[in-house]
Amino acid sequence: MASGGKKRKRLDRVAALEFPPNQWDRVLASLRDPYVLVRVGLAVATALLLCLVVRAWDLPFSYRAGFRPARDITARVAFQIDNPAETRARQDRARWQVPYVFVRDREPLHRLGETLRNTVLELLAAPSYDELPHPEAWQGFMPRTPDRVPGDKEIREGFDQFRKMLSGDEDLKRFTGAVNDALEEYDSMGLLRSLAQKKEVEQRLGEGNRDRIVVRQSEQDRRGTVVSVGDVLIGNATPLRQKLEYQLGQVELSGVTDWVFAWLHVNLPDTLVLEEEATRAALDRAAAEIEPATIEYEPGECLVSAGTALGIEQLKLLRNEHEVVNRVRTLYEKTGRALSTFMLFGVVLTLWGIYLVAHQPGLLEDLRRLSLVAALLVISVGTAVWASHDAWRAELIPILLLGQVLAIAFDRQLSLLAAGTGALAVVLGIGQGLASLCVLWGVTAAAVLQLDRIRSRIKLVHVGLVTAIAAFFLTLIVGFVAAQPFSLELLALAGRNALLTAAVGFVMQGLLPYVERLFGVLTDMSLLHLGDVSHPLLQELVRRAPSTYNHSITVGAMAEAAADAIGARGLLARVGAYFHDIGKMLKPNYFIENQPPNENRHESLVPQMSTLVIVAHIKDGADLARQHKLPGPIIDFIEQHHGTTLVEYFYGRASEQKQNDPDGGEVEESSFRYPGPKPQIKETAVLMLADAAESACRSLVEPGPARIEALVREIAERKLEDGQFDESGLTLRELRTVEDSMIKSLIANYHGRIKYPDQKPA
């Protein structure tokens, strides 16, 4: 025992033991990791935004036009609604009390007096009736009734009597004065010929008071005088006759009363001009002062009977009741519902995290793409809630687009998970329940399951049409399950969903290029376009380095077959192989396949410089690809097809030189490796092996099947031991399948030829 030491007790030794942290300690430790915190924060923000777009604190309005409730819908709270019919009736009654506004015009009545005086002068100037220049002038003075028309004799006798009564020199003056005095009261109140004018007013302004009007003496008079319609109505003849008889009797000319009254009764003008603006303002003001009529409903009162198809009026009534219910809910109730919804979204997003860790770790690490997926989910849900109103009922479109976009950008599993989350959020927001969830998720699943490979634009249309059929029948089935009877409303809803689903297929055609650019993915359709040998980069490769081009085409065919054998994207591997060596076109003669016989430029270079030239084709190829705007996945093939492998030939030469010259510098292996990165997906790993195997087979003098198989197995073993496949996700079983496929392809390319005896060249 060391001097000065103290013997520890058994309990101290036991307490000093350190055990690995338990599960909860590991969870708490991970929550302190910034990488985890950022992604947890993104999930929390997504859940909060989903709660916001679905208004999680309010109860949703779950009724739609055409829906037939299985039970009576009763009021949950006391509320009232406007009664437009009763309000209009009250406003009409208020308008009926408002008199029209007229302004008096003096000029017509003054002109009438002058006309009467001139007509009388004309009559007095004629010696007899037969010598009248205008006999109809006197006929206007003759009293007429519908039952009695004066004869010629009566007209002549009347003319003579009229002239006789006014034959004195002062008679005309007294006559004119008496008539003007009789008309003076009408001059102050005004005249209105008939109700015909008033009916025209009612058509333009609305019906007002029929018994009284307001007469203004001028436009500046804003108050006016309320008078009875009967007092100013020209058709009311009794007051006028009485006034004429009285005034003419005062000047001893009462005998002409009947004739003058007959003429005036026909020729009296309107002297009241309607003030339409003032009248309209008065009518509107009276209507505006009426309080709106309402209908009161008590809790438990039936609003809609069971089995009644909901129409516009029923929906309006139910929406009013729904708004009152949300308005009277307490803060505690609103907060409770919002927190519950947030926790539900939190659970669903936790399942997302578990799925991403297990199946999509690359997406989980790429914060930009992960944020795009979260934003797309929130936007789709918000758009679906907005489009769910009865005017459109198009909530299916955003969820269907969400599912198809993610199926194209990632995979079908993630797409179905996102579509299910979006459908759940939408039904929570619009209150449609399980039936709507089945339609939204089921139709989206029918579309997503068809999106395995998109090799033509017509594929999206076919997907839309097939999914439309599924949407039609699924809507009918869900309607029957929800106890909805077979009706025109249900058929119309099923047809609408089918049409919307078919339309999404055409919409996706236009969105496809933007989806590829936004998420950095390539569909088979785009790959087919890129794989066209007329691409400028491939044409330039043919011109500058034809042997490299032939090598790329051969490697592409091998990589496609091998990738297809393990269920990877063979087309992506082939197109990536076409472009993987485009960097060699800048210095083609430094690569052996492009060198003329017996000429090797590397003989004049030190191994380190040769390595730099060889390795540079990776950076040069990536720069060329970016310059020609090749997609990111193709650039990944260029950068990863050699990974971080060792340039063995020049490393070996450098090692030999070091042995021959011990005083030379140290040979660092890292200086002879490609910059990487290592292959990140199975397709780039397949290309790495195909590139190396095809190049190595070219060096075989007699490439028999056994030698080819041994060479491919050896190359794959070296790549595996060097760790080049560690980040690609390629399993050992898949690697063996890839080896077998490449062996078959190489044997087919380098099969033996029959040598004919004495064969001479042509």
SS (H, E, C) 126-192: CCCHHHCCCCHHHHCCCCCECCECCCHHHHHHHHHHHHHHCCCCCHHHHHHHHHHHHHHHHHHHCCE
Q: Which residues pair with 103 in a beta bridge?
A: 216, 273
Q: Is the pLDDT of residue 560 over 60?
A: yes
What single string gives the DSSP state of each residue in 616-663? HHHHHHHHHHHHTT--HHHHHHHHHSSTT-B-HHHHHHHHHHHHH-TT
Which of 212, 352, 341 shows the shortest CA–CA distance to 272?
212
Contact between 573 and 686 (Cβ < 8 Å): yes
Q: Is the pLDDT of residue 665 over 80?
A: no
Q: From residue 181, how far is each of 115, 231, 640 by CA, in Å?
A: 16, 17, 117
CA atoms of 603 and 427, how far apart (whole Å): 73
CA atoms of 605 and 609, how far apart (whole Å): 6
388 vs 217: which has the higher pLDDT: 388
**One fold for 47-58+331-520 and 526-749:** no
pLDDT reported for residue 392: 81
115 vs 30: which has the higher pLDDT: 115
pLDDT reported for residue 116: 86
Q: Which CATH number fits domain 526-749: 1.20.140, 1.20.58, 1.10.3210, 1.10.3470?
A: 1.10.3210
Which of 376, 391, 502 shows the shortest CA–CA distance to 443?
502
To which H or E segment does residue 286 belong?
helix 276-288
Architecture of domain 47-58+331-520: Orthogonal Bundle (1.10)
Average confidence (pLDDT) over 333-339: 95
Omega before 34 within 30 of 0, i.e. cis: no
Backbone angles phi and psi of 662, in degrees to 5: -60, -25
Give the pTM.
0.72
CA atoms of 500 and 495, how far apart (whole Å): 9
Average confidence (pLDDT) over 406-424: 93
Q: Is the pLDDT of residue 7 over 90?
A: no
For the chain, the maximum distance between any two Cα atoms, rounded to a whole number of angstroms, is 171
25-82 confidence digits (pLDDT tens): 666 666 678 888 899 999 999 999 999 999 999 999 999 888 899 899 999 999 999 8
Which residue ranges make up each domain of the chain?
Answer: 47-58+331-520, 73-83+293-328, 94-288, 526-749
Average confidence (pLDDT) over 438-448: 94
Average confidence (pLDDT) over 96-109: 87
